[in-house]
Structure 1
Amino acid sequence: MQANVKWVEGDTFIGRSASGHNVVFDAGHDSAAPSPMEMVLMSAGCCSSVDVVSILQKSKQNFTNVEVQLTSERAESAPRVFTKMNLHFVVTGYGVSEKHVARAVELSAEKYCSVALMLDKTVDVTHSFEVLEA
């Protein structure tokens, strides 16, 4: 996998993936785009969400929405790495089984989500969920 990041101006950069997609990053205080650390946090959420949605579809759960609410804590001083991260899944649907959601989240956390599993080597990554009736 390869990518390129180019400085635009100030604290703004554009990342370009090998697949040709562009992403804007902004590390300034009055930023117009997510910071690199926000992107890492959202990447963990997206990676795990892909797993959870796929597993729930395979288990034929009648869900209408899956959202992951991400919270994190960072070190007080530089480097301001993540020290804690929680991925809280909110699954909405009709008669969705808590057992199936728990299993989907567990499989993502322990086996499939490469981003969260990579971060888990140095960050206390936790997962939680709730099921809401549509």
Structure 2
Amino acid sequence: MKTTIDLNWLENMSFEADVNGHTIRVDAGTESGGDDSGARPKPLMLVALAGCTGMDVVSILKKMRVEYDKLTISVEANMREEHPKYYDEMKIIYHFVGKDLPVKKIERAVELSDEQYCGVSALYKMAIPLTSEIIITEK
């Protein structure tokens, strides 16, 4: 299956893309000659990773009938200082909040996303170290 995204230049360093009917604007910061009117491209890579694994985990836990009050997914990434600048490692942190959460089921859901379902993490793991951590806070 082929996917094509068109990125249209607006002005200066600003571009817009239509992604599944949703407009995403990217731009550089003022320190790099942009107008700071949109997200930077590299952090959107982290959004893609968090979104991909997040949707997997939510879907799997729903099938397992696991209920929680809150789920926050953070992605920490280390950017190289020399050019070309890119992330050379990433860590996904899953933070669950709830009462009497089944730790083994949560760990299994994260594991299934990591090892079987999340295409974004599968691709990233080909190029950089990718780790994860689960934090559970009892309510």
User: Which stretches in structure 1 are left out of the alignment for 5+ residues?
Assistant: none
Shift of residue 2, structure 1, vs aligned partner:
1.4
- Residue in structure 2 matched with residue 105 of structure 1 by the alignment: 110
1:51 to 56, 63, 66: 56
**What are structure 2's unaligned runs of at least 5 residues?**
none
TM-score normalised by length of structure 1: 0.92
* Cα deviation code 1:47-106 (max 9, x no counterpart): 000011111111111212111111000222121121000000001122111111111111
When the two chains are superposed, the root-mean-square deviation of aligned CA atoms in Å is 1.3
Matches within 5 A, 1:7-86: 7-17=9-19, 19-28=20-29, 29=31, 31-86=36-91
Mapped to 2, the partners of 1:106 and 1:119 lie a distance apart of 16
Counterpart secondary structure, 1:37:
helix
1:127 corresponding residue in structure 2: 132
Following superposition, the deviation at residue 32 of structure 1 comes to: 3.0
Which SS does the other structure have where 1:22 is aligned?
strand
| d(CA) in 2 for partners of 1:95, 1:60 | 13
More strand, by proportion: 1
3-state secondary structure, aligned to 1:77: coil
Distance 2:36 2:94 in 1: 28
State the match for 1:114 in structure 2. 119
Count of residue pairs the alignment pairs up: 133
Q: What is the letter of the counterpart of residue 44 of structure 1?
A: L
> Once the two structures are superposed, what CA deviation does each residue of 1:5-46 show, in whole Å capped at 9, x if it has no partner?
0111122110112x3221011122462321000101111011
Amino acid at match of 1:22: T
